[in-house]
Structure 1
Amino acid sequence: MIERRTVFKATLASGVAALAAACTGDVHLNGGAAAPAQPPKPVEPVAKITTEPAVGAGGVSVRDPVTVKVTAGKLTDVKVTNAEGKEVPGTFNADRTAWTSSDVLGYDRTYTYAAGATGDDNKPVQLTGTFTTLKPAQQTRISVNPSDDARVGVAMPVSVKFAADVTNKAEVEKALTLKTSKTVEGSWGWLSSRQVDFRPKEYWPAGVEITVGAHLYGIDLGGGTYAKADVTSKFTVGRNQVVKIHTPDHVMNVYRDGRQVKSYPCSNGLDSDIDRNTPNGTYIVMSKEPHAIFDNARYGYTNVDKKWACRFSNHGEYMHENQDNAAAIGKTNNSHGCVNLLEADAKDYYDSALVGDPVEITGSRLGPVVTSDVMDWLVDWSSWKSRSALKS
């Protein structure tokens, strides 16, 4: 009996040893093989740089600013360069989480980003890439009149002219600005597909300063045509001087601030021939010419030189010296539509006139002669406002 117990204990001990050996081996209790050890994953930087426009973007607007931003960090450097390596100027915000360009871009150009930042975890991040701007089908020039530092009369309209047709008139008009040093009611009105004017409801106040902006660079004028550049102008309206002529009276009166200051005898267009009448309407002095050459083959005269000529219509009417017609001046109307003055009077008026002074003609049988480019005061206010592409 003693010997059998000894055998049992030995067998049990042997089994325990085998179990222990199994627990230290490469076999799981469920019978599967153990997975190989994996290296630890690298920790991604927390900072992220983004751009607008995005890297790879095409047809980008040249008007919108370029922005570079970072989250969970601060920008250390930002460069946006064109194909020639010239940097686009720009500034960081106070905490250097954003950079914004401060200049417009060029048409049909490729720009390259190179930006760096340090994350809140002190890890550096970089961003590189390119984008391209829109390519116009055509570029055109724009002009603004009056020009900088001009001094003009109280009826002078502001004209923005285009070297190509504009079909996107509403968007163009939205981009036009006009600021005055005194409150003035006025409206833009399209005279043609190549000209839009601003005129006040009434004549400008004397002495008002006017600043005009045609901020049209980067705006599609229509059909893929874009302006070559923005155009601005700042000018001043002078004293209030108005010419009034009632043609049957043979007198040209000049008013300053509503008070008559001059009265010149004149001869206007021949009354008996409506085609030679001086036309009714409110016009403006368009130009001043010390000498003007007149030709009208229909009426048998060419290369006639007259002094002190102030043009007030693109139909061909002037106020000018005609000493050769002195016998009719102040007595009868016999011109071909112009206002004839004695030489001394013509010079006196010429010296006082400003481009943009109103010229009001009444009493004629001929109604207003409307030309496409200078007709701002030949329509009533309601009709003028209807010419705006933004009319309500």
Structure 2
Amino acid sequence: MNVRPISGASVDARGRGGTGLLALILGVLLLAVTACGGGGGAGSGSAGDGKGEDAGGTEAKQSQAVVSIAPKDGTKAVDTSGALKVSAAKGKLTEVKVKDAKGTEIAGKITGGGASWTPSTHLAAGTRYTVHAVAKDSEDRTAAEDSSFTTLTPKNTFIGTFTPEDGSKVGVGMPFSVRFSRGITHPEDVEKAISIKTEPAVEVAGHWFGNDRLDFRPEKYWASGTKVTVKLNLDGVEGRDGVYGKQDKTVSFTIGRNQVSVVDAKKLTMKVTQDGKVVNTLRVTTGKAGYDTWNGQMVMSEKLTVTRMNGDTVGYGGEYDIKDVPHAIRLTTSGTFLHGNYWGGDAFGNYRASHGCVGLRDVKGGYDGDAPAAWFFNHSMIGDVVVVKNSDDATVAPDNGLNGWNMSWAKWKA
């Protein structure tokens, strides 16, 4: 019987079958299956044993801390005060950054042991802000939240006009005085938005005169050479219900030499001192009976080379109208000046002849630089102090001009 070999099988030439070769092939295939699929031995993972994570690590757990930001992301017309708050639950805040569109960061504090954050100041009006807040839970795992919002654009606003001017040099009595265009009913918020820094450092306090004027000064006259920087951060401050400030301005001024001039209304003299030394003694005339000159400390607020003085403007209608008063220096809002006088005859040093002003001898037109009035005018600057004593009148009111020095420091700060 003839027999053909089976296709694909090998026959030993010496008559032995392929049993050994077949066993070898099966062994190789088994090894390959074991290497690719795993053998299910101890320490290995499989689809059926519930151990699918990587053998070298563990699955990261999410932080339990929850960060909340108010107002909600995308909110518009947000109030400039009281609306912005950041808080954390099941964790503690570690970082809060609030910035405007220019990248300026808003100061604030984390309080309550990390439970909340609030800004230290108001926000500007009509401004977009971004918030980035980070908190950590008890296992030091981090959670973060980002948000943005836009503050309201007010319909009604106010500004403050101020003295002295930016970049000016002034005398030692000059307060920083702000007059507001609208009456203020939230004075604490407005005053908090005005900061003053001095070099050298000195305590400066503000005082309100009515509801539209705020003056700042130190306890005593400024020291010569003091540099004063005022930050008017009024943009967004609600000065009265529904009325917001719209100023963000920095003002700087420097204090010049110390000049204080003392007028004695009985002796009719004025001693001019600079840095504590008498540099000149001038003869003056003051207010006659019934028109006495105010007593007290008065600060120069305006210098006019020539001006018109009309009695109608101060309630003395028809008594005088002098169109060319030379070398006039304003001391009060109500109309008290220290000025040149060319019509006074021999009154200077001899008798009281004015309607309340302090007069110095001068010439018509003020051309004589050696006249007492011209000398004093040329040696004076805005902010210098004139003190009147021994007059029969009362002390000038602190708000009549820049004359808050007539109020005690305790009352000024009260």
Decide: shared fold, TM above 0.5: yes
Whole-angstrom CA distance in 2 between matches of 1:132 and 1:342: 63
1:362 paired with 2:389, answer yes
Counterpart residue number, 1:374? 402
1:378/1:136 Cα in 2 relative to 1: closer, same or farther (>3 Å)?
A: same
- Matched with 1:207 is 225
Q: Which has the larger radius of gyration?
A: 2
Per the alignment, residue 179 of structure 2 pairs with 161
Give every structure 1 segment of 4 or more consecutive aligned residues whose post-TM-superposition deviation is greater than 4 Å.
46-53, 61-67, 87-91, 108-113, 127-130
Per-residue deviation, residues 176-212 of structure 1 (Å, max 9, x unmatched): 2111112323321001211111111111101111111
- TM-score norm. by structure 1 comes to 0.68
1:211 alignment partner, SS class? strand
User: 2:263 matched to which residue of 1?
Assistant: 245
Residue from 293, 299, 316 that aligns with 2:308: 293
What is the CA-CA distance between 1:129 and the residue it aligns to? Answer: 8.9
Task: Tell me whether 1:346 sits opposite 2:346 in the alignment.
Answer: no
SS of equivalent residue, structure 2 residue 396: coil
Alignment match, 1:76? none
Distance in 2, matches of 1:259 and 1:348, equals 17
CA contact (8 A) 2:163 2:177 kept: yes
Equivalent residue runs for 1:166-181 within 5 Å = 166-181=184-199
Which protein has greater RCO, CA pairs closer than 8 Å, 6+ apart?
Answer: 1
Please say if residues 191 and 373 of structure 1, whose CA atoms lie closer than 8 Å, have aligned partners that are also in contact: no
After superposition, residues 16-165 of structure 1 pair within 5 angstroms as 53-61=71-79, 89=103, 107-108=125-126, 131-165=149-183
Aligned to 1:70: none
Change (3 A) 1:182 1:49: closer
Distance 2:412 2:104 in 1: 43
CA distance in 1, matches of 2:306, 2:343: 15
TM-score (norm 2): 0.65
Contact 1:142 1:231 (8 Å CA) reproduced: no
Q: Is the 8 A contact 2:333 2:400 kept in 1?
A: no
2: distance between equivalents of 1:323 and 1:362?
24
Counterparts of 1:185 and 1:263, CA distance in 2: 34
Does the CA contact (< 8 Å) of 1:309 and 1:320 recur in 2? yes
Within 5 Å, which residues of 2 pair with 1:184-333? 184-270=202-288, 273-274=289-290, 276-297=291-312, 298=317, 300-333=319-352
Q: 1:144 to 1:349 in 2, by over 3 A?
A: same
Give the Cα–Cα distance (whole angstroms) in 1 for the partners of residues 157 and 333 of structure 2: 29
Structure 2: which amino acid aligns with 1:256? Q
1:378 maps to a residue whose letter is: N
Question: What is the alpha-carbon distance in structure 1 between the residues aligned to residue 296 and residue 130 of structure 2?
Answer: 59
Q: Secondary structure of the equivalent of 2:266? A: helix
Q: Is the 8 A contact 2:73 2:147 kept in 1?
A: yes
- Counterpart in 2 of 1:30? none
Please give the secondary structure, in 1, of the residue aligned with 2:346.
coil
Write the distance in 2 (CA, Å) between the matches of 1:167 and 1:373: 23
Structure 2 residue matching 1:266: 3-state secondary structure: strand
Query: Helix, strand or coil for the counterpart of 2:391?
Result: coil
Matched residue type, 1:205: A
CA distance in 1: counterparts of 2:263 and 2:400, whole angstroms: 24
Report how far residue 137 of structure 1 moved.
Answer: 4.4
User: Tell me, what secondary structure is at the counterpart of 1:328?
Assistant: coil
> 1:334: which partner in 2?
353
- Deviation of 1:107 (Å): 3.4
In structure 2, do the counterparts of structure 1 residues 183 and 108 end up closer, same or farther at CA, with 3 Å as the change threshold?
closer
CA-atom RMSD in angstroms: 3.8
CA distance in 2, matches of 1:142, 1:158: 12
> Please, which runs of 5 or more residues in structure 1 have no aligned partner?
1-45, 68-79, 82-86, 92-103, 114-126, 387-392
CA distance in 2, matches of 1:234, 1:149: 6
- The runs of 5 or more residues in structure 2 that have no matched partner are 1-61, 87-98, 106-121, 132-144, 363-370
The Cα shift of 1:89 comes to 4.4
Structure 2 residue identity aligned to 1:358 = V
Distance 2:244 2:162 in 1: 16
Q: 3-state SS of the aligned residue for 1:325?
A: coil
Match of 2:89?
Answer: none
CA deviation vs aligned residue, 1:2-53 (integer Å, no higher than 9, x gap): xxxxxxxxxxxxxxxxxxxxxxxxxxxxxxxxxxxxxxxxxxxx89999775
Q: For residues 112 and 255 of structure 1, what CA distance do their matches in structure 2 show?
A: 56
CA offsets, 1:356-388, max 9 Å, x none?
Answer: 1111001111002324553312222222122xx
User: In 2, are the aligned partners of 1:315 and 1:369 still within 8 Å (CA)?
Assistant: no
Q: How many Å separate the matches in 2 of 1:210 and 1:242?
A: 20
Q: Does structure 1 retain, via aligned residues, the 8 Å contact 2:308–2:323? A: yes
Rounded to whole Å, the distance in 2 between the matches of 1:355 and 1:304 is: 23
For this pair of structures, how many residues does the alignment match? 309
| 1:27 match | none
